[in-house]
Amino acid sequence: MQMKLKVITSVLIVGLIMISCGQAPEKKPEAAPLAVTVKQADMIEVLHQYQFTGRVVSNEKITLRAKMAGTIEQIAEAGQSVRKGELIVKISNRELMAQLGSAKALQSEAKSNLAITYKNYQRMQRLFEKGSATQSELDDIKTAYDMSMARVESATQSINEINESLRYTRLVSPIDGFVSQKISNEGNIASAGSPLLTLESSDQLKIKINVPEFEIGVITQQAAVRIEVPALSEDPFHGWVDKIVPSSEFSGVQYRVSIRFKVVHGLKPGMFAEVTLLQGKEQKIMVPPEAIYHRGQLTGVYGINQNDEALLRWVRLGKTYPQGIEVLSGLDQGESVIISVEGKLFDGAKIQVVN
């Protein structure tokens, strides 16, 4: 009896297994395609760009030097703003003041002697006219008068020279700007011609760039340029080519070019600048910025394959223009790229173009 029950149970189990194997598997519903908008990679005509990196410098840079020897009593500090005509260096003038006092005393004595000699000369002239004095006596007093006059002139000349030297003990700024370098310090003894300070103008700035010899031919006087300064948050501004040094003898194979521009708030000497020269036209394949996908250091765009699936394509990008981003390789003109999607886009996803 038990044997029969085991046989029946085994048969039932085998039957159930066969029934279950014979049933068709259930199919999962397919995901709805992602709605996307696309745009063709167009060939667009743009102005050819030549880009250079430069540095903002002062249009005026002056090294202030001592004009006479002496001890420095006062000197401006590095970074200090200065105005034209402002006292920035004072050199000790004690010795000159002593010389000036002596020269004035000699001048005063010489003027007193001149006054006496002049009166004697006038009296001798009257006597000579009356026949009471000889020609020799008149000549002698005239010589004494001329010598007194010469001593007054000599003393006056000495005073003028000392005053001129005193003027050199007080050095003023020849420009509006700032002290970019302090070369000497208070208490130092300055010799005539020794450098003391470097001054730079703050309101007249320019940008200096170095142009390779193979590109100097495209740079022309007064050519318009676009300028970007990374340290400033402001939009790019415009300038023009001011000067081109026609020789690279002292700068290797680079030519020095100066760029001028109108006053820009916040711009300071020493800042780096990116200068772009727009000249000539060329055709470039462009895509909109929203078509670009980044994965690590790679950049790509999503195209569409023949099965209406998203296809990730790696591309190499060039410069950014107002019309879009240049594609150097990985995409041909006229090919469509996805620029927006409703949902999460991935390689191989089913898509439906809605535009």
Determine, yes or no, domain membership for 27.
Answer: no
The verdict on 162 and 107 lying in the same domain is yes
Dmax of the chain from CA atoms?
192
3-class SS at 153? Answer: helix
The verdict on 127 and 218 lying in the same domain is no
> Residue 72: what pLDDT?
93
Of 325, 309, 307, the C-alpha closest to 317 is: 325
Q: Which of 281, 300, 332 is the last residue of a domain?
A: 281
Q: What is the CATH number of the domain that holds 237?
A: 2.40.30.170
The verdict on 302 and 345 lying in the same domain is yes
Number of domains comprising the chain:
4
Determine, yes or no, domain membership for 193.
Answer: yes
Determine, yes or no, domain membership for 14.
Answer: no
Determine, yes or no, domain membership for 20.
Answer: no
Determine, yes or no, domain membership for 18.
Answer: no
> Residue 6: what pLDDT?
46
- For residue 354, what is the DSSP state? -
- For the entire predicted model, the pTM comes to 0.53
> Residue 246: what pLDDT?
84
The verdict on 145 and 270 lying in the same domain is no
Of 166, 247, 202, 167, the C-alpha closest to 62 is: 202
Determine, yes or no, domain membership for 259.
Answer: yes
d(CA 355, CA 333): 19
Q: Which of 229, 257, 281 is the last residue of a domain?
A: 281
The verdict on 287 and 341 lying in the same domain is yes
Determine, yes or no, domain membership for 17.
Answer: no
> Residue 68: what pLDDT?
86
Token digits for 302?
């999503």
Q: Which of 262, 281, 300 is the last residue of a domain?
A: 281
d(CA 205, CA 227): 13
Domain of residue 184, residue span = 62-89+172-201
> Residue 272: what pLDDT?
94
Determine, yes or no, domain membership for 298.
Answer: yes
The verdict on 184 and 83 lying in the same domain is yes
Q: What is the CATH number of the domain that holds 132?
A: 1.10.287.470
pLDDT in tens, the chain (355 residues): 444 444 344 544 444 444 444 454 555 556 788 899 999 999 998 878 889 999 999 988 899 999 888 899 999 999 899 999 999 999 988 888 888 899 999 999 999 998 999 998 899 888 888 888 888 888 888 999 999 999 999 999 999 988 888 888 899 999 998 999 999 999 999 998 999 999 998 778 999 999 988 888 888 999 999 999 999 877 899 999 999 988 776 666 789 999 999 888 888 888 999 999 987 788 899 999 999 999 888 999 999 999 999 999 999 998 888 889 999 999 999 999 999 998 889 999 998 988 8
